[in-house]
Amino acid sequence: MPTEPLPAFDPERFRREGRAVVDWIADYWQTVADRPVQSSVDPGWVRSQLPAHPPEQPEPLAAVLADLDHVIVPGLTHWQHPGFFAYFPASASGPSILGELLSAGMGVQGMLWATSPACTELETHVLDWLRELLGLPDRFASTGVGGGVIHDSASSGLLCAVVAARERALQCSRVEETVVGRPEQRQPLVGYTSAAAHSSIEKGLGIAGIDRQWLRKIETNDRGELDADRLAARMDADARNGMIPFFVAATVGTTSSGAFDAVPLIAAATRRHNAWLHVDAAWAGAAAICPELRGGIVAGAEAADSWGFNPHKWLLVNFDCHTLWVADRRPFVRALSMKPDYLRNAATESGSVIDYSDWQVPLGRRFRALKLWMTLRMIGAAALRQRIRDHVAWAAEFADWVRADRRFELLAEPSLSLVAFGLRAGDEATAALLDRVNRSGRVLLSPARVGGRHALRLAVGGTLTRREDVETAWREISRLA
Amino acid sequence: MPTEPLPAFDPERFRREGRAVVDWIADYWQTVADRPVQSSVDPGWVRSQLPAHPPEQPEPLAAVLADLDHVIVPGLTHWQHPGFFAYFPASASGPSILGELLSAGMGVQGMLWATSPACTELETHVLDWLRELLGLPDRFASTGVGGGVIHDSASSGLLCAVVAARERALQCSRVEETVVGRPEQRQPLVGYTSAAAHSSIEKGLGIAGIDRQWLRKIETNDRGELDADRLAARMDADARNGMIPFFVAATVGTTSSGAFDAVPLIAAATRRHNAWLHVDAAWAGAAAICPELRGGIVAGAEAADSWGFNPHKWLLVNFDCHTLWVADRRPFVRALSMKPDYLRNAATESGSVIDYSDWQVPLGRRFRALKLWMTLRMIGAAALRQRIRDHVAWAAEFADWVRADRRFELLAEPSLSLVAFGLRAGDEATAALLDRVNRSGRVLLSPARVGGRHALRLAVGGTLTRREDVETAWREISRLA
């Protein structure tokens, strides 16, 4: 064991160790398909393998890599396994991993334009590129008063949209006293989403101080889509009763069954009350890069105040990478900007730059645009489209196999690459099957509730997943049913 | 230009390209000292060098690396430059960069224990290690009802503490109607911090719906420390007037001058009102690994509900890495947990595991513990302590040089590795000097306001910074004064 302190950054050592880590990762990807998808360790096992106290003296990389193999990897559920069909996959790619490495290696922090102009400008630029690829309306381009920003997750993007919406609503109401958290406030701010919307919406509103009772979870129709007529009626009734409808979250591709809310109809109701319209396209958004799939995804976006999706789900950018566009950045900045003396600088004061810390919760920020830029450049839009088309086709095939087996039924029509299905024998049988399938180690699915029924969800999207892995999944599911 | 779609992850290609990127980073670190610290590009220059439209077809890594050299690097302000003394440095290290690479390479997502047990358990374990190194009280250990969690930034950790405090206050008040954002609420929740506290406290409270008027920025004494007597008097008066003092943020090491609030005195006032006490030790916290520096940093921590610092500032972990400890995780989880059907799993239901998505804003999470673990193991606690001691000694030497030059004056006593100073000639001269120094390209400082005066801040902490770089900084500053 060396007893001399090592330099914190020794270039020659970094070259050597960097190669070893790159090789470790390549080996991991080459062998991941041979491992069980899901870790089977018991709670506490990983910790039981680690020393109780921190190391005083440095240890070599080899010791760390040995522990990765013997302690960490057995404790992983392998999100990059070709048999991972759970949640929504978090697909990584070589270029995006290298982008993350470069971001860590440069070690710049882009809280202000001035603290690394390239960190800000590449982000603005690549989000304009991505807007174009998705066919999102011009209002989200940075050339006007809108623009895009990278967040860690859809939850964080949503929270910022809620805070900006709250700011705008309280300003528009022109009643100085109606500020959230002020006891003088007589009119509650009310948010709306569908009963099938993601939990991050309730969480984000709650964090922003909008209590659960002021979130209306509007019923869905039998396809899992928010019922726009009920929404309009509820907003009207709330306004009549002296409340302020201030925020509506529509979902394009629900988590459970992939339902698409009718954003144009929702937008009409939202506009009448001057509420903020946020579109959560976290998973499905990526498919808008294919013109033939785009229609239902971007419909109504021209009326949205904010629109977000996760390139880390289905666009080969490693987690974390959520992209959010806003039609007007001014309420965003008003709600989130803080410029104490120690952040003052000439560029900010000139008004000619974006300071992305004004668009997010944290002050500091990584250079996340690198990985998105490298993924787009080194894979190219054409190949990204082809992958999405393949996945949609494989999910449709899988749905056909489900339909053709009379023990099973689809619980919703397949949506893009997502299939929700169950056993006709009922909820208990479906839950038991999920358990057996996941224990098999070859396939990982996740549960959901669709139309009041227990469902199995199969989401195609893994980086290594091929058509034959979808076939294997069906064979396993069918065998274990 | 290749027209065939490339595989998203080709192991042999990854090995080759990974080596090239590792070498690029090593070269970058070997040459960064020769570059100007601060980018001098004009707003829009970086974007003007990039294609207007996204690429359809894949481009080779070499094209990306060429653009890094010619477009991105000129647009960087080099946070890893040895002459970077601005803000607080975000010090990276070889081991932490490789930890980030491994996290991206494994591509697991640890929102639940079940979605990768090792991701959760390594984090809990390493935060127990770090608690021990810092000498934080046992109540923050995961063996009891407390424990640690990694966030991206101090701002995000603070926001979660505010939300948990709000939850606890509203529950303790036992008045079902007093929920934030409910117009029936008659008693405002009031937060407290010092006038010298970081802007993230006002931002976090604001996001949580606690309006600015309900944040008391208590005056500081002439050393920049929160005046605990004034705090106590204000809390008492607010409570007498029917308000609910619910949250106090003490600062250990203020951003402007490194002042240490007297946490034990603040704790006494806080406890009387059953308010939540959060300690923001974002920068200074790292120095608690040195027993001789620990006293003022952890004093009073045994009365804190939450305590956080940033290993990414001064502990060689690349940005982002904020570590937060809570004494009781239950109000945290109550305030932040959401478990819809699609996240249900047996481990969560057993109650025997931590699901870290219940401790943060986002649902998803990266495997950040890897980089902290690798930094602690591959550098070792002894070398981390030595670095901090060196930096504190160099800052003290710098302060002596300032004292010895009658054109200058210290605007506060040096605190650990931070020196705030100015020109006796006054604010305008100091601001002009900052501008000249930063344009020199050899040194980067940032501004602050200390005791009502314009100050220059020199924060030692860069990975590559040696004693001679601090000396060079003084020579430049002195020459340009």
Q: Which residues 30-69 of A are in CB contact (within 8 Å) with B? A: 30, 39, 41, 43-47, 50, 53-61, 63-64, 68
Report the residue from A94, A116, A361 with minimal CB separation from B159.
Answer: A361
- The encoded tokens of residue A476 equal 């396993």
Chain B residue closest in CA terms to A111:
B87
Span B367-396, pLDDT tens digits: 999 999 999 999 999 999 999 999 999 999
* Beta carbon pairs, A and B, within 8 Å: 528
Report the residue from A60, A113, A182 with minimal CB separation from B43.
Answer: A113
Long-range Cβ contacts of B383-389 (<8 Å, 24+ apart):
B383/A5, B383/A6, B383/A58, B384/B289, B384/B315, B384/B316, B385/B289, B385/B290, B386/A5, B387/A5, B387/A8, B387/B316, B388/B286, B388/B287, B388/B289, B388/B290, B388/B293, B388/B314, B388/B416, B388/B417, B389/B290
Contact B18 A17 (CB under 8 A): no
Chain A residue closest in CA terms to B204:
A361
Instruction: Please list every residue in chain B whose beta carbon sits closer than 8 Å to the beta carbon of residue A59.
Output: 377-378, 380
Per-residue pLDDT tens, chain A, 481 aa: give them: 343 445 789 999 999 999 999 999 999 999 999 999 999 999 999 999 999 999 999 999 999 999 999 999 999 999 999 999 999 999 999 999 999 999 999 999 999 999 999 999 999 999 999 999 999 999 999 999 999 999 999 999 999 999 999 999 988 653 433 334 444 556 899 999 999 999 999 999 999 999 899 999 999 999 999 999 999 999 999 999 999 999 999 999 999 999 999 999 999 999 999 999 999 999 999 999 999 999 999 999 999 999 999 999 999 999 999 999 999 999 999 999 999 999 999 999 999 999 999 999 999 999 999 999 999 999 999 999 999 999 999 999 999 999 999 999 999 999 999 999 999 999 999 999 999 999 999 999 999 999 999 999 999 999 999 999 999 999 999 999 9
Q: Is B237 on the interface with A (CB under 8 A)?
A: no
Instruction: Please list every residue in chain A whose beta carbon sits closer than 8 Å to the beta carbon of residue B200.
Output: 338, 363
Q: At what angle do helices A381-404 and A467-480 cross, to 10 degrees?
A: 20
pLDDT of residue B231: 98
Kindly tell me the number of DSSP H helices and DSSP E strands found in chain A.
17, 11
Neighbouring CB atoms inside 10 A of A299's CB total 18
- The encoded tokens of residue B231 equal 């705090």
Whether B330 shows a pLDDT value over 70: the answer reads yes
Contact B365, B152 (CB under 8 A): no
Residue type, position B70, single letter: H
Report the residue from A90, A104, A132 with minimal CB separation from B100.
Answer: A104
Contact A183 B188 (CB under 8 A): yes
Give every strand in the sheet of A408-410, ordered side by side.
A408-410, A418-423, A453-459, A446-450
Contact A431, A446 (CB under 8 A): no
pLDDT of residue A178: 34
Instruction: Please list every residue in chain B whose beta carbon sits closer than 8 Å to the beta carbon of residue A365.
Output: 320
Q: What residues pair up with B248 in beta bridges, in sequence order?
A: B192, B277
Q: Assign A309 to helix, strand or coil.
A: strand
Instruction: Please list every residue in chain A whose beta carbon sits closer than 8 Å to the beta carbon of residue B457.
Output: 342
pLDDT of residue B187: 84
Contact B182 A208 (CB under 8 A): no
Determine the Cα–Cα distance for residues B37 and B79; give it in Å rounded to an integer: 8
Instruction: Please list every residue in chain B whose beta carbon sits closer than 8 Å to the beta carbon of residue A209.
Output: 166, 180-181, 208-210
Nearest residue to B374 via CA among A337, A14, A110, A129: A14
- pTM here is 0.96
Neighbouring CB atoms inside 10 A of B398's CB total 24
Report the residue from A15, A41, A364 with minimal CB separation from B117.
Answer: A41
Q: Is B129 on the interface with A (CB under 8 A)?
A: yes
Determine the Cα–Cα distance for residues A367 and A109; give it in Å rounded to an integer: 7
Contact A91 B125 (CB under 8 A): no
Determine the Cα–Cα distance for residues A392 and B177; give it in Å rounded to an integer: 49
Nearest residue to A315 via CA among A84, A92, A120: A92
pLDDT of residue A2: 40
Q: How distant is the Cα of A403 from the closest Cα of chain B, in angstroms?
A: 23
Contact B55 A377 (CB under 8 A): yes
Contact B14 A29 (CB under 8 A): yes
Q: Which residues 387-406 of A are in CB contact (within 8 Å) with B? A: 387
Instruction: Please list every residue in chain A whose beta carbon sits closer than 8 Å to the beta carbon of residue B17.
Output: 94, 98
Q: How distant is the Cα of B220 from the closest Cα of chain A, in angstroms?
A: 17
- B100-to-A22, B121, B330 alpha-carbon distances in Å: 12, 17, 30
Instruction: Please list every residue in chain A whose beta carbon sits closer than 8 Å to the beta carbon of residue B380.
Output: 5-6, 55-59
Q: Which residues 313-332 of B are in CB contact (within 8 Å) with A? A: 316, 318-320
- B198-to-B157, B281, B416, B419 alpha-carbon distances in Å: 13, 11, 18, 17
Neighbouring CB atoms inside 10 A of A143's CB total 9
Phi, psi of B419 (to 5 degrees): -125, 125
Contact A100 B102 (CB under 8 A): no
Place B84 in a pLDDT band, splitting at 50, 70 and 90: very high
Q: Is B143 on the interface with A (CB under 8 A)?
A: no
Report the residue from A44, A46, A380 with minimal CB separation from B57.
Answer: A380
Instruction: Please list every residue in chain B whose beta carbon sits closer than 8 Å to the beta carbon of residue A436.
Output: none
Contact A188 B199 (CB under 8 A): no
Q: Is B158 on the interface with A (CB under 8 A)?
A: no
Chain B residue closest in CA terms to A156:
B362
Whether B445 shows a pLDDT value over 60: the answer reads yes
Whether B21 shows a pLDDT value over 70: the answer reads yes
Span B289-326, pLDDT tens digits: 999 999 999 999 999 999 999 999 999 999 999 999 99
Instruction: Please list every residue in chain B whose beta carbon sits closer than 8 Å to the beta carbon of residue A381.
Output: 54-56
Report the residue from A94, A116, A130 with minimal CB separation from B77.
Answer: A116
Chain A residue closest in CA terms to B10:
A94
Nearest residue to A121 via CA among B36, B78, B74, B75: B75
